[in-house]
Amino acid sequence: MRVVFIHGACVQDGTWWWHRVADLLEGHGISSLAPALPSCGETGALVGYGGPGLTDDVAAVRRVLEDSAEPTIVVAHSYGGIVAAEAAAGVDAVNNIVLIASYLPEVGQSLSDFGGEAPAPFLDADVVEGTFGVRLDMLTDTFLHDCKPSIQGQAALRLARQSLQVTGQPVVAAAWKNVPTLYVVCAEDRGTPAALQREFAAKAGKVVELDSGHHPFLSQPDAVRDLLLGLL
């Protein structure tokens, strides 16, 4: 058994974002990895208009999923659920999907279909360059309020500008319809309100709630580990 983690929008270094859970899983003999997402600049390509988008993120994750026949749990956070919907479709090794404060897009839906009419106040979009990112001054209070100060500081160093085009690019597959899917509602999330998460989660096969902010894998890694072990 292995776990493939997919991080959310506007960050880099997926290995770090998931490291607290990955270390705990390793103690149980479970390997994991976190593919780099090109649209976040993790592969060296310049982001923005004409740069890598959702298709590139999907291809990067799918390559990892298809390079092994080992039974695999895909764990996706926030924007990562959009990537997982397409990347995990039809991959025989994937036997479970776990979505954390994320989305279950239908074929033809994009990230923008899950937002409001106005941009979220914690995001900064540059329509000239074609990128968006999280406002540093709102990072901790919005996304990391329940994390230790040391984690908050390290997270701030891993923010990234991402290609704005990913917000409007639709998925062409919906893996969650055919693969057992667990949705993790983060009840204290200040970025994606729990009420919205519960609406999204209504389409998942199973739902659990954690009293956590947007990143329970950083604030409550034991709880996330236990959820994953429960799927074995």
Residue 118's pLDDT band (cuts 50, 70, 90):
confident
Q: What pLDDT is stored for residue 176 in this prediction?
A: 98
pLDDT higher than 90, residue 212: yes
Alpha-carbon distance of 221 to 10, in angstroms, equals 21
Q: List, in order, residues 6 or more apart from 63 with CB less than 8 Å away.
A: 35
Instruction: For residue range 87-105, list pLDDT tens digits in order.
Output: 999 999 999 999 999 999 9
Query: Across the chain, what does the average pLDDT equal?
Result: 97
Report the candidate in 82, 133, 75, 89 with the shortest Cα–Cα distance to residue 110.
82
Backbone Cα Rg of the chain: 16
The superfamily (CATH) of domain 2-229 is Alpha/Beta hydrolase fold, catalytic domain (3.40.50.1820)
Mean pLDDT within 123-137: 96
Q: What's the token pair of residue 230?
A: 């429960």
Centroid of chain to Cα 175: 15
- Which DSSP state fits 4? E
Instruction: For residue range 21-72, list pLDDT tens digits in order.
Output: 999 999 999 999 999 999 999 999 999 999 999 999 999 999 999 999 999 9
Residue 180, judged by CB atoms within 10 A of its CB (0-12, 13-18, 19+), counts as middle
Residue 228's pLDDT band (cuts 50, 70, 90):
very high
pLDDT higher than 80, residue 107: yes
Q: List, in order, residues 6 or more apart from 114 with CB less than 8 Å away.
A: 103, 105, 196, 200
Residue 129's pLDDT band (cuts 50, 70, 90):
very high
Place of tokens 């937002």: 115
Report the candidate in 127, 135, 24, 35 with the shortest Cα–Cα distance to residue 87.
35
Residue 115's pLDDT band (cuts 50, 70, 90):
confident
Q: What pLDDT is stored for residue 119 in this prediction?
A: 77
Which H helix or E strand runs over 94? strand 94-100
Enumerate the domain spans of the chain.
2-229
Whether the CB-CB separation of 201 and 116 falls below 8 Å is answered with no
Biggest alpha carbon distance in the chain? 48
pLDDT higher than 80, residue 117: no
Q: What pLDDT is stored for residue 80 in this prediction?
A: 98
